[in-house]
Amino acid sequence: MANLLSQCSASTGRIQHITPQNAGWDYVGFDVWRLKAGESVELPADELERCLVLIAGIASIKAADHDFQQIGKRMSPFERTPAFSVYVPHHTQALVVAESDLELAVCSAPGFGELPVRLIAPQDVGVEHRGKGKNQRLVHNILPDDSPADSLLVVEVYTREGDTSSWPAHKHDTPVEGQETYLEETYYHRFDPPQGFCLQRVYTDDRSLDECMAVYDRGVVKVPRGYHPVATIAGYDNYYLNVMAGPNRKWQFTWEVDHAWINSPAYPR
């Protein structure tokens, strides 16, 4: 059985810690911190670029010559408003101080360019609705491939109870020029009410990888390759934060042939 699921490891402090080393891949790193007001996290000046996403709460963030004071607005991701985020390039130290109870995601990947530190405010986030019928979701594009970064792609997705998401099944594991890119991916899941769960499957065409997982609040699913749909459970709305990275910073994917018809006018029947 592949080790693709990381359930929440603690109630406070660093509750998730995904690295290329422990995930067995090359690009994506992902941490989640839960802090009390007055607590802080210092991030090193190293070879990684980072996108700091305020999932819930208010914080002050210093990086290079930037000092973003008292940023953040939503106190729960289920307010369905875009997050405040800060992009931090490689070789740049950052200090995050919690001004309230804070849930902070630290998304990381290899950095190599000369981009500046920048605030990504809610008005900078592209908002879109995708799907129809029981396959609908609300998407917040925090760091899409048409926004500056070296490797990272970051997006928030909301799926209502009983609906599917990341569906029809698609994959991004085989570089095909102009059609598909290789991107590793993590899913950080939240639920409302929090005792809920979802089912996420990760599988390849030849089924050499085929895992279906029950994911609980603040769990992470790692997607090294293959298709990766999500099915919510009645009564529980789902939020997830996606982090993707690979050698080519483009989100290009291939639909699974058997289920691509769900994109057509024939659905819903």
pLDDT the model gives residue 2: 66
pLDDT the model gives residue 9: 80
pLDDT the model gives residue 102: 98
pLDDT the model gives residue 239: 98
Q: Which residues of the chain have pLDDT under 70?
A: 1-2
Write down all domains in the chain, each with its CATH number in brackets. 5-263 (2.60.120.10)
pLDDT the model gives residue 11: 86
pLDDT the model gives residue 218: 98
Q: What residues contact 225, with CB distance under 8 A and at least 6 apart?
A: 171, 173, 204, 209
Q: Could you report the per-residue pLDDT of 220-231, keeping only the tens digit for each?
A: 999 999 999 999
pLDDT the model gives residue 159: 98
